[in-house]
């Protein structure tokens, strides 16, 4: 077994007074935490040293990114086949979670699976990968080969269109590296979806809500009206239709997303639903004066805070959004409100919901709060791996 030796790699060094976070287990080093920014190549593998001269880790380096170093191992040796080994271990964990054949799942989740800058989602016969960093881009061919060997899919697509690639000095692209079609079929929570990866957001389905959506099974939906906001492909509303809801409304600003929701609901045999192409804030503002009410409202918006400088603005947006959601709920109704903004903490999102309740003068019970699904594990020393918050609230 060949191994990469730290002594054979270019070196970078941490500043003495800025190494505490890395010592506590965080896998990144920012540019301001290094003694200097050498002009090594983007994505080049390097050895990281403490200012004392002691080896800290092996990882990859990018002189043009704010995140200068991403850890691969805290040792002087790195197995040459680390990509293949770690991908196989990640898959083994997911296969232990989801026994249903063909069920969609995230099989690689970046730093949590010790493959920083790599996301891989399994959609049965199709594998979707996102290479987000210059370091992982250097392993592009090995990643593709590992996916092909381990999963043996009919289709492999690289959905490399994330804005984070620009920050890494990389071009954005969406390419088929095996197979011939961007159209993918996926089984998620027992429902079959068919969609075009090029037109879809991120890697296609929002798999991170799996366990939260499954909790809908605990509620009584027969005879109820449901509003699915920022519905995308409609996973929340579709689940409620399967549970016997009287009527479901899907609201999204994306015509394509609503098309997929419509086609999926029809394929499942449902006719008791509407798709509404409209800005969610505008829709709520329009129906509140009309007195329209629902028994359940699902709100899963895109990230309002793309960076820390947007936190205050995002907080106000969550307050406005969920206040309006509460106003269209019947007495005894349920609001399921989510935030996928990493920069909005659990506590801050909870505070925004309390303010929403105060503004509309309603007494609200918190029934449950959830995080991202089990195939998106959170690395405790890496808060960036934790982003999704979902609260189940009841209006009294």
Q: What H or E segment, with its residue span, contains residue 226?
A: strand 225-229
Instruction: Give the total residue count for the chain.
Output: 396
User: What is the residue-level pLDDT of the chain in tens, covering all 396 positions?
Assistant: 689 999 999 999 999 999 999 999 999 999 999 999 999 999 999 999 999 999 999 999 999 999 999 999 999 999 999 999 999 999 999 999 998 888 999 999 999 999 999 999 999 999 999 999 999 999 999 999 999 999 999 999 999 999 999 999 999 999 999 999 999 999 999 899 999 999 999 999 999 999 999 999 999 999 999 999 999 999 999 999 999 999 999 999 999 999 999 999 999 999 999 999 999 999 999 999 999 999 999 999 998 988 888 899 999 999 999 999 999 999 999 999 999 999 999 999 999 999 999 999 989 999 999 999 999 999 999 999 999 999 999 999
Specify the CATH architecture of the domain 207-395: 3-Layer(aba) Sandwich (3.40)
- Catalytic-labelled residue, pool 268, 325, 340, 360: 340
Tally the C-alpha atoms within 13 A of residue 146's C-alpha that lie toward its C-beta.
23
Contact assessment for residue 388 and residue 338, using Cβ atoms and an 8 Å cutoff: yes
Q: Does the annotation mark 340 as catalytic?
A: yes
The CATH architecture that domain 3-79 belongs to is Roll (2.30)
Contact predicate 323/288, CB 8 Å: no
Q: What is the dihedral of CA 7, 62, 202, 321, to 10 degrees?
A: 120
Which class for 112: exposed (0-12), middle (13-18), buried (19 or more C-beta within 10 A)? buried
CB 186 within 8 A of CB 124: yes
> Which residues neighbour 218 within 8 Å (Cβ) at sequence distance 6 or greater?
none
Q: What does residue 28 show for φ and ψ, rounded to 5 degrees?
A: -110, 155
Q: What is the DSSP letter of 19?
A: -
Locate tokens 């891989």: which residue? 120
- Rounded Cα distance between 139 and 146, Å, is 10
Per DSSP, the residues of 169-193 read T---EEEEEESS-SEEEEEETTEEE
Q: Where, residue-wise, is CATH 2.30.130.10 in the chain?
A: 3-79
What is d(CA 280, CA 322) in angstroms, rounded to the nearest whole number?
Answer: 11
CATH 3.40.50.150 location in the chain: 207-395
Asked if 111 contacts 94 with a C-beta cutoff of 8 angstroms, the reply is no
Task: Give this prediction's pTM.
Answer: 0.94
Cβ(231)–Cβ(301) under 8 Å?
no
Asked if residue 284 lies in contact with residue 264, where contact means CB atoms within 8 angstroms, the answer is no
| CATH 3.30.750.80 in the chain, residue ranges | 82-196
Q: Which of 240, 299, 300 is nearest to 265 (CA)?
A: 240
CATH assignment, 82-196: 3.30.750.80
């Amino acid at each position: 077994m060949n191994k990469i030796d730290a002594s054979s790699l270019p070196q970078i060094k941490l500043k003495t007074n800025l190494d505490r976070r890395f010592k506590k287990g965080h896998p990144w080093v920012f540019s301001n935490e290094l003694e200097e920014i050498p002009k090594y190549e983007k994505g080049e593998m390097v050895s990281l040293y403490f200012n004392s001269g002691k080896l800290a880790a092996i990882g990859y380096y990018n002189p043009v990114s704010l995140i200068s170093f991403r850890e691969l191992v805290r040792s002087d040796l790195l197995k040459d086949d680390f990509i293949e080994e770690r991908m196989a271990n990640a898959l083994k964990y997911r296969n232990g979670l989801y026994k249903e054949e063909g069920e969609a799942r995230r099989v690689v989740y970046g730093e949590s699976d010790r493959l920083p800058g790599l996301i891989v989602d399994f959609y049965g016969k199709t594998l979707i990968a996102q290479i987000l960093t210059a370091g992982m881009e250097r392993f592009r061919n090995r990643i593709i080969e590992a996916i092909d060997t381990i999963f043996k899919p009919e289709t492999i697509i690289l959905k490399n269109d994330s804005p984070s690639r620009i920050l890494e000095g990389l071009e954005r692209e969406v390419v088929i590296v095996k197979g011939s079609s961007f159209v993918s079929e996926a089984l998620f929570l027992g429902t079959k979806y068919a969609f075009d990866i090029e037109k879809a957001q991120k890697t296609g389905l929002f798999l991170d809500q799996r366990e939260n959506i499954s909790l809908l099974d605990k509620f009584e939906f027969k005879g109820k009206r449901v509003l699915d906001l920022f519905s995308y492909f409609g996973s929340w509303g579709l689940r409620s239709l399967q549970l016997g809801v009287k009527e479901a409304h899907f609201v999204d600003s994306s015509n394509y997303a609503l098309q997929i929701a419509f086609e999926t609901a029809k394929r499942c045999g449902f006719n008791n639903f509407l798709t509404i192409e409209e800005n969610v804030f505008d829709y709520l503002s329009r129906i509140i004066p009309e007195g329209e009410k629902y028994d359940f409202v699902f709100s899963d918006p895109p990230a309002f805070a793309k960076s820390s400088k947007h936190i205050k603005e995002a907080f106000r947006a969550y307050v406005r959004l969920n206040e309006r959601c509460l106003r269209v709920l019947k007495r005894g109704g349920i609001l399921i409100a989510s935030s996928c903004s990493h920069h909005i903490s659990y506590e801050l999102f909870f505070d925004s919901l309390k303010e929403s309740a105060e503004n509309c003068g309603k007494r609200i019970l918190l029934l449950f709060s959830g995080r991202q699904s089990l195939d998106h594990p959170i690395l405790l020393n890496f808060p960036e791996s934790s982003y999704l918050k979902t609260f189940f609230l009841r209006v009294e």
